[in-house]
Amino acid sequence: MQMKKKINNIKKEWQLLKCRFSSERKQLVFSTRKGFTLVETLIAVFLFSLVSVMVSGIFGNFLKNYAESKKMQQNIEATQFAMNLMAKTIRTSDVRKIDENNLGCFDYAQLKCIKYSLVSNKLQVYTSDGDALDNCNFDVMTSPDDLTPPNVTKVFFNVVPSTIATYGVVAVAVTVKNDSQTSSPLKIQMAVSLRNSK
Protein backbone atom coordinates (compact mmCIF):
# COMPACT_ATOMS: atom_id res chain seq x y z
CA MET A 1 0.00 0.00 0.00
CA GLN A 2 2.71 2.34 0.79
CA MET A 3 4.32 1.50 -2.45
CA LYS A 4 1.13 2.42 -4.28
CA LYS A 5 1.05 5.77 -2.53
CA LYS A 6 4.62 6.42 -3.51
CA ILE A 7 3.89 5.54 -7.12
CA ASN A 8 0.84 7.79 -7.10
CA ASN A 9 2.86 10.63 -5.56
CA ILE A 10 5.56 10.16 -8.19
CA LYS A 11 2.89 10.22 -10.91
CA LYS A 12 1.39 13.42 -9.50
CA GLU A 13 4.79 15.06 -9.25
CA TRP A 14 5.57 13.94 -12.80
CA GLN A 15 2.35 15.50 -14.09
CA LEU A 16 3.02 18.69 -12.16
CA LEU A 17 6.53 18.77 -13.54
CA LYS A 18 5.23 18.07 -17.00
CA CYS A 19 2.65 20.83 -16.70
CA ARG A 20 5.18 23.30 -15.26
CA PHE A 21 7.70 22.41 -17.96
CA SER A 22 5.06 22.88 -20.63
CA SER A 23 4.07 26.38 -19.37
CA GLU A 24 7.70 27.39 -18.94
CA ARG A 25 8.40 26.11 -22.40
CA LYS A 26 5.57 28.26 -23.81
CA GLN A 27 6.93 31.29 -22.00
CA LEU A 28 10.38 30.46 -23.29
CA VAL A 29 9.06 30.22 -26.85
CA PHE A 30 7.26 33.53 -26.58
CA SER A 31 10.18 35.35 -25.00
CA THR A 32 12.70 34.20 -27.62
CA ARG A 33 10.64 35.29 -30.62
CA LYS A 34 12.33 38.11 -32.63
CA GLY A 35 10.48 41.30 -33.63
CA PHE A 36 11.05 44.96 -34.49
CA THR A 37 10.98 47.55 -31.79
CA LEU A 38 9.27 50.89 -32.35
CA VAL A 39 12.63 52.66 -32.77
CA GLU A 40 13.77 50.14 -35.40
CA THR A 41 10.48 50.54 -37.28
CA LEU A 42 10.74 54.35 -37.22
CA ILE A 43 14.33 54.25 -38.53
CA ALA A 44 13.32 51.86 -41.32
CA VAL A 45 10.41 54.10 -42.34
CA PHE A 46 12.66 57.19 -42.28
CA LEU A 47 15.31 55.52 -44.47
CA PHE A 48 12.68 54.27 -46.92
CA SER A 49 11.17 57.77 -47.14
CA LEU A 50 14.61 59.33 -47.69
CA VAL A 51 15.48 56.92 -50.51
CA SER A 52 12.02 57.43 -52.09
CA VAL A 53 12.43 61.21 -52.09
CA MET A 54 15.90 60.97 -53.64
CA VAL A 55 14.75 58.57 -56.37
CA SER A 56 11.64 60.63 -57.19
CA GLY A 57 13.79 63.81 -57.38
CA ILE A 58 16.21 62.18 -59.81
CA PHE A 59 13.36 60.76 -61.90
CA GLY A 60 11.53 64.13 -61.94
CA ASN A 61 14.70 65.92 -63.03
CA PHE A 62 15.20 63.36 -65.80
CA LEU A 63 11.63 63.87 -67.06
CA LYS A 64 12.03 67.65 -66.99
CA ASN A 65 15.27 67.50 -69.00
CA TYR A 66 13.70 65.07 -71.46
CA ALA A 67 10.67 67.31 -72.03
CA GLU A 68 12.91 70.37 -72.46
CA SER A 69 15.18 68.64 -74.96
CA LYS A 70 12.16 67.26 -76.87
CA LYS A 71 10.64 70.74 -77.13
CA MET A 72 13.98 72.21 -78.20
CA GLN A 73 14.34 69.51 -80.87
CA GLN A 74 10.87 70.35 -82.23
CA ASN A 75 11.73 74.07 -82.33
CA ILE A 76 15.02 73.39 -84.13
CA GLU A 77 13.25 71.22 -86.69
CA ALA A 78 10.61 73.93 -87.27
CA THR A 79 13.33 76.58 -87.67
CA GLN A 80 15.34 74.41 -90.07
CA PHE A 81 12.19 73.77 -92.12
CA ALA A 82 11.54 77.54 -92.30
CA MET A 83 15.15 78.19 -93.33
CA ASN A 84 14.90 75.57 -96.08
CA LEU A 85 11.77 77.31 -97.42
CA MET A 86 13.64 80.61 -97.33
CA ALA A 87 16.62 79.08 -99.16
CA LYS A 88 14.39 77.83 -102.01
CA THR A 89 12.90 81.30 -102.45
CA ILE A 90 16.19 83.19 -102.09
CA ARG A 91 17.90 81.00 -104.71
CA THR A 92 15.53 82.20 -107.42
CA SER A 93 15.34 85.81 -106.26
CA ASP A 94 16.98 89.18 -106.51
CA VAL A 95 17.83 90.04 -102.89
CA ARG A 96 18.39 93.22 -100.87
CA LYS A 97 19.16 93.55 -97.16
CA ILE A 98 16.69 96.03 -95.68
CA ASP A 99 18.32 96.03 -92.23
CA GLU A 100 19.83 93.50 -89.82
CA ASN A 101 16.46 91.89 -89.02
CA ASN A 102 14.77 92.26 -92.42
CA LEU A 103 15.53 90.82 -95.83
CA GLY A 104 13.68 91.82 -98.98
CA CYS A 105 13.66 89.96 -102.28
CA PHE A 106 11.82 89.65 -105.56
CA ASP A 107 11.12 86.03 -106.41
CA TYR A 108 11.20 85.44 -110.17
CA ALA A 109 9.52 82.03 -109.79
CA GLN A 110 6.41 83.45 -108.09
CA LEU A 111 6.66 87.03 -109.44
CA LYS A 112 6.21 88.37 -105.90
CA CYS A 113 7.94 90.75 -103.56
CA ILE A 114 8.85 88.92 -100.36
CA LYS A 115 10.12 90.23 -97.03
CA TYR A 116 11.49 88.07 -94.20
CA SER A 117 11.37 89.73 -90.81
CA LEU A 118 11.80 88.98 -87.10
CA VAL A 119 8.68 90.10 -85.20
CA SER A 120 7.73 89.07 -81.65
CA ASN A 121 10.34 86.27 -81.56
CA LYS A 122 8.90 84.76 -84.75
CA LEU A 123 10.39 84.68 -88.21
CA GLN A 124 7.64 85.98 -90.49
CA VAL A 125 7.17 86.32 -94.24
CA TYR A 126 5.31 89.16 -95.99
CA THR A 127 4.33 89.06 -99.67
CA SER A 128 2.98 91.43 -102.32
CA ASP A 129 2.71 91.45 -106.09
CA GLY A 130 5.46 93.07 -108.09
CA ASP A 131 7.52 92.96 -111.24
CA ALA A 132 11.07 93.78 -110.05
CA LEU A 133 13.05 94.30 -106.85
CA ASP A 134 13.29 98.06 -107.41
CA ASN A 135 9.49 98.30 -107.64
CA CYS A 136 8.84 96.40 -104.38
CA ASN A 137 7.46 98.48 -101.53
CA PHE A 138 8.50 96.53 -98.43
CA ASP A 139 6.70 98.91 -96.09
CA VAL A 140 3.25 98.12 -97.50
CA MET A 141 2.74 94.37 -97.66
CA THR A 142 0.08 91.79 -96.83
CA SER A 143 -0.42 90.38 -93.36
CA PRO A 144 2.46 88.12 -92.35
CA ASP A 145 2.61 84.35 -92.16
CA ASP A 146 4.59 82.80 -89.30
CA LEU A 147 7.49 80.64 -90.41
CA THR A 148 8.66 79.63 -86.93
CA PRO A 149 7.19 79.22 -83.45
CA PRO A 150 7.89 82.11 -81.02
CA ASN A 151 11.36 80.91 -80.04
CA VAL A 152 13.67 82.95 -82.30
CA THR A 153 15.56 85.48 -80.21
CA LYS A 154 17.77 86.88 -82.94
CA VAL A 155 18.14 86.79 -86.71
CA PHE A 156 20.93 88.17 -88.86
CA PHE A 157 20.93 88.59 -92.65
CA ASN A 158 24.05 89.29 -94.68
CA VAL A 159 23.92 89.78 -98.44
CA VAL A 160 26.89 89.70 -100.81
CA PRO A 161 25.38 90.90 -104.10
CA SER A 162 26.03 89.23 -107.40
CA THR A 163 28.50 90.75 -109.84
CA ILE A 164 29.21 90.06 -113.51
CA ALA A 165 31.92 87.53 -112.57
CA THR A 166 30.44 85.89 -109.45
CA TYR A 167 27.15 84.85 -108.02
CA GLY A 168 26.01 86.48 -104.79
CA VAL A 169 25.56 84.81 -101.42
CA VAL A 170 22.98 85.34 -98.71
CA ALA A 171 23.92 84.25 -95.18
CA VAL A 172 21.21 83.81 -92.56
CA ALA A 173 21.89 83.18 -88.86
CA VAL A 174 19.03 82.42 -86.48
CA THR A 175 19.29 82.07 -82.69
CA VAL A 176 16.72 79.73 -81.11
CA LYS A 177 15.88 79.47 -77.41
CA ASN A 178 12.95 78.13 -75.38
CA ASP A 179 11.44 80.13 -72.52
CA SER A 180 12.26 77.40 -70.00
CA GLN A 181 15.66 76.54 -71.50
CA THR A 182 18.53 76.76 -69.04
CA SER A 183 21.34 76.04 -71.51
CA SER A 184 22.75 78.57 -73.96
CA PRO A 185 20.70 79.33 -77.08
CA LEU A 186 21.35 77.42 -80.29
CA LYS A 187 22.49 79.11 -83.47
CA ILE A 188 21.43 77.81 -86.86
CA GLN A 189 23.12 79.19 -89.95
CA MET A 190 22.80 78.76 -93.67
CA ALA A 191 24.33 80.28 -96.77
CA VAL A 192 22.45 80.41 -100.06
CA SER A 193 24.13 81.20 -103.35
CA LEU A 194 22.09 83.32 -105.72
CA ARG A 195 21.46 81.99 -109.22
CA ASN A 196 21.19 85.31 -110.96
CA SER A 197 24.29 87.33 -111.84
CA LYS A 198 24.32 90.94 -112.98
Strands 152-160 and 145-146: unpaired
> pLDDT class for 56, splitting at 50, 70, 90?
very high
Torsion of CA 167, 144, 100, 133, to 10 degrees: 40
Decide the pairing of beta strands 122-129 and 112-119. Answer: antiparallel
Model confidence pLDDT, tens digit, residues 107-119: 888 888 999 988 8
Those residues whose C-beta lies under 8 Å from the C-beta of residue 101, and which sit 6 or more positions away, are 117, 118, 155, 156, 157
| Averaged pLDDT, 116-133 | 87
Per-residue pLDDT tens digits for 129-187: 888 888 888 888 888 888 888 888 888 888 888 888 888 888 888 888 877 666 778 88
User: Do strands 169-176 and 152-160 pair parallel, antiparallel, or not at all (unpaired)?
Assistant: antiparallel
